[in-house]
Amino acid sequence: MTTFKSNVSAAEEFLAKFKNQTIGHFINGEMVVPSGSELFENLSPVDKSVVGKVAVATEREVDQACEAARDAFPAWRDMPGSERRKLLHHFADKIEERADEIALIESMDTGQPIKFMKKAAIRGAANFRFFADKAPEATAGSSSFQEEHTNFTSRSPIGAVGIITPWNTPFMLSTWKIAPALAAGCTVVHKPAELSPMTAMLLAEIAKDAGIPNGVWNTINGFGQVAGKRLSEHPDIKAIALVGSSITGPLIMKQGADTLKRMHLELGGKNPVIVFDDADFDRALDAVVFMIYSLNGERCTSSSRLLVQSGIKDKFLAALAKRVANLQVGHPLDPNTEIGPMIGQVHYDKVNSYFSVAKDDGAETLVGGAPCGSPVNGTEEGYYVEPTLFVEAKNNMRIAQEEIFGPVLTAIEFDAEDEAIKLANDIEFGLAGYIWTNDSGRGMRLARSIEAGMLWVNSENNRNLPSPFGGVKMSGVGRDGGDYSFDFYMETKNVCVALGTHKIPVLGGLS
């Protein structure tokens, strides 16, 4: 069994190698740190210590990575799906072998509690296995018959693609995007978030170790405004899959417009969880707490807006407040920690700013509402905030409309079903929604009426890999999961064959 102490010493051991080497880029099968590279220090949110020095990619390195991916594409595309399947399973084996290392490094790099990160590595491997198994049939299509013609479709991989990922659960999210791209036969240039580059480099190491051919997988480190921008503008990149904020999504769309890039954008959310009087009280309470306070609240599908019906409001909020006050804030490597530090200074400042915004707007802070110094060593080091519950809020307040992306929940009261739907939809986002009721008809009605890409009825966000994942409105464009991912990473071709000698219109036949 692991303990806080054993986790700390194992993490130190794994991180030691990054102390003496610069983290560079993975281009055409080689780890490279171009001479003269500008470097930035990657700080751990736990105590602001330097986890590693990272090279900043210039346009030149991005171009090299894109060219490597372009050149590697024909051979990867032409490799039989059964071979790709084998390689990607091998890759998943290697992830599993390094699961502890991945989890510990991810925790130190992002501040995410080890309690949740242990599963992230396993889920990453599962993503690869799921799409690996689909690789042999990825090109398969459908047929459609007409009286005198038969149509059939087939799919082929679109080419080299860019994958741009955020800092929240970066390992899991990267595997989620890269696995289907590779299984489909695309080659990849990955740009991880500058705030959490560590596990992306482990993935690149694993790619080399697993025998993924040179150039099929490339990783460039650096900043969005230069490296991300160049990647989304590069003519050899045929599509961009972004997981990021609703500010970055439209920027990338503009950057990719001149090269007519295909875009898949998974963006922000301010997702409602609606609890009706007739809900299973205890299960709803568990789910409400889990879906906003797990993963530090830094989660796109977090249920950050609680709409609670007036009949149970007082009882529900009292029970909720007790649970929130009891959440264990601490060092992410402590197995008992439920909430770790925010990712970095800018995000910490942003989350803190909402504590006064709530007061100015006239909401009540029932629990928390302040930065909390470091529960690790009692100093101000580390980006810790108190788990927070705002009540007596109105839907038009900033704390109800804006994505705070921290362990902060805003509760709003409602009376009737119609009002709940109106409140849920009166927002620019539309990623996810959660409905708690024992009336199945009402569950169905709400699921139909709420403007979101994903609804869960009487459940937290259970993920099913074949099901579509994605948002509407400012939460994004496109869907991931199962065949939806292949549709994005592949072009569909229709072939139409005449069955006989049907009549062809004759032009220019007059004598």
Output the six-digit token pair for 273. 């969880």
Give the CA angle between residues 89, 92, 94 to the nearest 5°. Answer: 115
Residue 268 vs 340, nearer CB to ligand NAD: 268
Give the pairing type, strands 432-436 and 272-275.
Answer: parallel
Residue 10 vs 251, nearer CB to ligand NAD: 251
Is 181 near ligand NAD (CB under 6 A)? Answer: no
Taking only Cα atoms into account, the Rg of the chain, rounded to an integer number of angstroms, comes to 24
For the segment 104-133, give every residue that binds ligand NAD (CB under 6 A). Answer: none
Is 300 near ligand NAD (CB under 6 A)? Answer: yes
Residue with token string 């580390």: 382
Catalytic residue among 186, 233, 298, 300: 300
- Please identify which residue in 85, 191, 234, 313 interacts with ligand NAD, judged by CB under 6 A: 191
Output the six-digit token pair for 35. 């001479």
Pick the piece of the chain touching ligand NAD (CB under 6 A) from 53-61, 79-87, 267-275, 411-419.
267-275
Would the CA dihedral through 425, 426, 428, 432 be positive or negative?
negative
Residue 366 vs 385, nearer CB to ligand NAD: 385
Could you tell me the smallest distance in angstroms from the CB atom of residue 264 to ligand NAD?
A: 10
CB–CB of 232/255 below 8 Å?
yes
Q: Is 491 a catalytic residue?
A: no
Is 26 near ligand NAD (CB under 6 A)? Answer: no
Could you tell me the smallest distance in angstroms from the CB atom of residue 362 to ligand NAD?
A: 26
Output the six-digit token pair for 173. 């999210």
CB–CB of 404/354 below 8 Å?
yes
Could you tell me the smallest distance in angstroms from the CB atom of residue 24 to ligand NAD?
A: 17
Residue 15 vs 164, nearer CB to ligand NAD: 164
Pick the piece of the chain touching ligand NAD (CB under 6 A) from 77-85, 100-108, 164-172, 500-508.
164-172
Task: Give the full edge-to-edge strand order of the sheet including 476-477.
Answer: 30-32, 25-27, 217-219, 187-191, 160-164, 237-243, 262-266, 476-477
For the segment 396-455, give every residue that binds ligand NAD (CB under 6 A). Answer: 403, 405, 431
CB–CB of 43/52 below 8 Å?
no
Is 168 near ligand NAD (CB under 6 A)? Answer: yes
Question: How far from the centroid of its chain's Cα atoms is residue 316's Cα?
Answer: 30
d(Cα 323, Cα 305) in Å, to the nearest integer?
Answer: 17
Identify the DSSP state of 336: T
Residue 283 vs 463, nearer CB to ligand NAD: 463
Is 197 near ligand NAD (CB under 6 A)? Answer: no
Q: Is 233 a catalytic residue?
A: no
d(Cα 118, Cα 217) in Å, to the nearest integer?
Answer: 25
Closest CA to 303 of 117, 436, 452, 432: 432
Q: Which three-class secondary structure state does DSSP give residue 415? A: coil
Q: Which residues contact 429 (CB under 8 A, 6 or more apart)?
A: 246, 268, 269, 270, 271, 403, 471, 473, 474, 475
How many residues lie near ligand NAD (CB under 6 A)? 32
Pick the piece of the chain touching ligand NAD (CB under 6 A) from 48-56, 263-271, 387-395, 412-420.
263-271
Question: How far from the centroid of its chain's Cα atoms is residue 132's Cα?
Answer: 20
Binding mask 222-251 vs ligand NAD (x if CB under 6 A, - otherwise)?
A: -xxx--xx--x----------xxx--x--x
Could you tell me the smallest distance in angstroms from the CB atom of residue 223 to ligand NAD?
A: 6
Pick the piece of the chain touching ligand NAD (CB under 6 A) from 190-198, 351-359, 393-401, 458-466.
190-198
Interaction site with ligand NAD (CB under 6 A) = 164-168, 173, 191, 193-194, 223-225, 228-229, 232, 243-245, 248, 251-252, 255, 266-269, 300, 403, 405, 431, 471, 476
Question: What are the catalytic residues?
Answer: 266, 300
